[in-house]
Structure 1
Amino acid sequence: MSKTVNISSPSQFNDVLRGSKLVVANFYTDTSNASQQVAAVFEQLSHALSRPNLVTFTKVNTEQQKDVAQAYRVTTIPTFIIFRNGKVADRVQGADPIKLQSVVNKLSEEVQNLASGGGEAGGSGSGSGSSEANWRGAALPRGYNDITDQIELRSCELLNVDPDAGNVRVLFDTSKPSALSEGKGGAKDWVESDTDEQLLLFMPFQSMLKLHTLQLTSLPPSDDDDAEVPLRPRRIKLFTNKPHNLGFDEAEDLSATQEFELSEQDWNAEGTANIPLRFVKFQNITSLVLFVVDGDGDGEKTRLDRVRLIGETGEKREMGKLEKIGDEPGE
């Protein structure tokens, strides 16, 4: 007998999220061939990993439960969303059994830990895995979580990046930056600007967010004699709810949601600046554009090692309220 829970209402889905530490939801339709291709794999995983009050596998027919699908911005069929403590932790879009298996392999490790009394899934409740696996350059503001995992990595775009440095994904790596580690070899896990100091980073989100704090880590080498040593960001502009990245001229001219100027005193010993945002202006956010206008010094390049978003996810609201989020104007 299948252990998978078939969702028949938004309230039932909310009950499942509240009643299980880990939830794997299969958003599907009966008419989708892609859904049918991975249905058997999903059922096998459900049978092997389901645990009462710990791990629950659910199926959500998006044609019958449109409110649930809309609340979690499901646009691709099938989509598999993994929830940890009621928050979106990961998602797999499309009939990709290899990716699904990879995500579930991580899940199985958590299942074993939970079943053996290893504590809460997700450690501190940040939605990004255990505290040991997640490096942070600054403490979390009281009452808020690290929600960087809500960034849709595949759709991120970084303009004016030096191809010899890392790519955009390294900015959201959960590991400690190599510049702070004893062994500094291997791939470059930071980004640098290319032709001048400016960078334009576009970050779309998997769900509606409330942003409270932006944490930036920049760890340029301390070689004062080298004119090519990159700089830390100085002036920064933020733009919200843009459907795509901006151009540099456009970013220069547009009025920003918030802009600020960092000084040497803003960077802590971990190379991280903890930047409070005007919370009232960062409600119901679907995307963020970060524009590094210039660097703090006379060089021609700026460097970023990590970007962290701190705040709340829309999934913390009740389903009925989530349905209205898209109709509320952003600040």
Structure 2
Amino acid sequence: MASKVSQITSAAQFDSLLKSSKVVVADFFATWCGPCKMIAPVFEKIATQLGRKDAVTFVKIDTDQQKEIASKYSIRAMPTFLLFRDGNEIDRVQGADPRKLETLVTMVALEAEMLGGSSGEGSSSGSSSGGSLWNGAALPRGYTDITHNVEVQRTELLNLDDAAAGSVRVLFAPGKPSGKSEALTASAADWVESDTDEQLMLFVPMQSLAKLHTLQITSHPTEDAARPQLIKLYSNSPHNLGFDEAEDTQATQEITIKPEDWNDQATVSIPLKFVKFQKISSLVMFVVSAEDGAEKVRLDRVRLIGEVGDKREMGKLEKIDHEHSE
């Protein structure tokens, strides 16, 4: 079987590839580097599974032979893996630790899923299978969907009804939600529901510090589960909050959602107090109550809109102290 990984032989070739392929994953290595040789089969396997012509492209760059490229992207250790979308670097992991590489794999998987469906539809459309990038509401001018910045493998959801819904990861899936009221099995559900009461506690860690402008939530109400009504947001917590802890902690912002706030895509756009969400390493979303006093609440998608800022060490959250203006 032919390799799915291309060798870069010039800066011009790499620049051209960044323009022609939607997503590029680059392995910066050296022939003398033992860890590079160790991780190479893993990278090759990922490329075989996720590579798509002119969509998701995997390349290897010899830093000794391509010093111009290595210098441009500040490569200081080998191996280093970079992920590009539309020619822009959006993530990197350094070292031959497969666990660290998993972060990049997750990103590539999401990118591949985004590219799997039709691309001719608008921002509020997409395939129900989750193939294309989808937003349930228009994006604020000057800002982008930065949900890809979520460290998905470390998200956590408290009070999840495991028997009636999917895992927390479905909330950040790039495709349009099915909107179904039931699934044959819980693993097939592309939404989440609360369990013992209407409250949910969602912990969303970031890969990079972010500026958050808008929170978009999609919720398809059913006979059993309603849309959220009262939500509290907490910024930069190093871990998920317990329900009692949240009640005793002052929220960064509190939002009451009115029935008329939901659009025809079952989505609400919540403007955030931008000055309070400037350097965000994590977000806790506490769904306090459901519409009409319902005993269960449902979430289909969560989208973060804003800007990605400085990188931080993966897996490490630091609470950031800064003044909050009212």
Instruction: Write out aligned runs for 1:101-140 (5 A).
Output: 103=108, 133-140=132-139
Letter in 1 for 2:98: A
Equivalent position SS for 2:37? helix
Change beyond 3 A, Cα 1:308–1:49: closer
The count of corresponding residues between Structure 1 and Structure 2 is 281
Match among 255, 279, 284 for residue 284 of structure 1: 279
Equivalent position SS for 2:148? helix
- 1:167 and 1:202 map into 2 onto residues whose CA distance is 13
Paired residue for 1:11?
none
Gaps of 5+ in 1: 7-14, 111-118, 125-130, 224-228, 318-325
> Shift in Å at residue 175 of structure 1?
1.6
Change beyond 3 A, Cα 1:199–1:39: same
- 2:226 and 2:170 map into 1 onto residues whose CA distance is 18
Match among 249, 257, 274 for residue 254 of structure 1: 249
Paired residue for 1:37?
38
> Shift in Å at residue 142 of structure 1?
1.0
1:309 partnered with 2:309? no
Equivalent position SS for 1:194? coil
Equivalent position SS for 1:265? helix
- 1:58 and 1:49 map into 2 onto residues whose CA distance is 19
Equivalent position SS for 1:178? coil
Paired residue for 2:97?
94
CA deviation vs aligned residue, 1:282-312 (integer Å, no higher than 9, x gap): 1121111101111112321111111000011
Letter in 1 for 2:190: D
Are the counterparts in 2 of residues 24 and 80 from structure 1 also a CA contact under 8 Å?
yes
Gaps of 5+ in 2: 1-5, 65-69, 124-129, 312-317
Change beyond 3 A, Cα 1:2–1:101: farther
Are the counterparts in 1 of residues 83 and 92 from structure 2 also a CA contact under 8 Å?
yes
Normalised by the length of structure 1, the TM-score is 0.67
Match among 261, 270, 273 for residue 266 of structure 1: 261
Change beyond 3 A, Cα 1:56–1:244: same
Paired residue for 2:206?
205
Paired residue for 1:231?
226
Change beyond 3 A, Cα 1:252–1:143: same
> Shift in Å at residue 169 of structure 1?
0.6
Paired residue for 1:323?
none
Change beyond 3 A, Cα 1:3–1:282: same
- 2:190 and 2:287 map into 1 onto residues whose CA distance is 19
Paired residue for 2:216?
215
Are the counterparts in 2 of residues 3 and 50 from structure 1 also a CA contact under 8 Å?
no
Letter in 1 for 2:242: G
Paired residue for 1:173?
173
CA deviation vs aligned residue, 1:41-68 (integer Å, no higher than 9, x gap): 75997xx9999xx98655789xx99x96
* RMSD across aligned positions (CA): 4.8
Instruction: Write out aligned runs for 1:173-192 (5 A).
Output: 173-179=173-179, 187-192=188-193
- 2:147 and 2:259 map into 1 onto residues whose CA distance is 25
